[in-house]
Copies of this chain bind each other. A is one copy, B any other.
Amino acid sequence: MFNAVAEPRRREILDLLMEGERPVGDIVERLELGQPQVSKHLKVLREVGLVDAREDGRMRVYRLNGRGLKPIHDWVSNYERTWSERFDALDVVLDELKDKEARDERP
């Protein structure tokens, strides 16, 4: 899944979908990439759960599923303290509290 995001065009697709759901055609236009290529990238993103598709007539509307990026966020966050000196003991505690709250609210 790190792999899915390692592709520049796929990151562009995700960035685009952050604006809102989009049919394939729109993505093809914006990325200036062939339609089959976009479909293939979307397939990869679908397989790792980073996007969902909704059928609307003869078009498929793709929607971002940002939660799929949480594993990456979690992994990278472990390294945050190596560059952010502000990420000291207090910050760690606060972040853990924030995480705990989030878990309690949506178990």
Contacts and interface: CB of A to CB of B under 8 A. Distances in A.
Nearest to A74: B76
8 contacts: A5-B6, A64-B79, A66-B79, A72-B72, A73-B76, A73-B77, A85-B102, A85-B105
Contacts of A14: 79
Interface bin, chain A: 20 to 34
Contacts of A83: 66-67, 69-70
Nearest to A102: B86
Nearest to A50: B79
A77 B72 CA distance: 10
A49 to B, nearest CB: 12
Given A18-B79, A66-B79, A73-B79, 15 more contacts: A2-B11, A3-B6, A6-B6, A11-B75, A18-B78, A18-B82, A64-B79, A66-B81, A67-B83, A69-B82, A72-B72, A73-B73, A73-B80, A86-B98, A86-B105
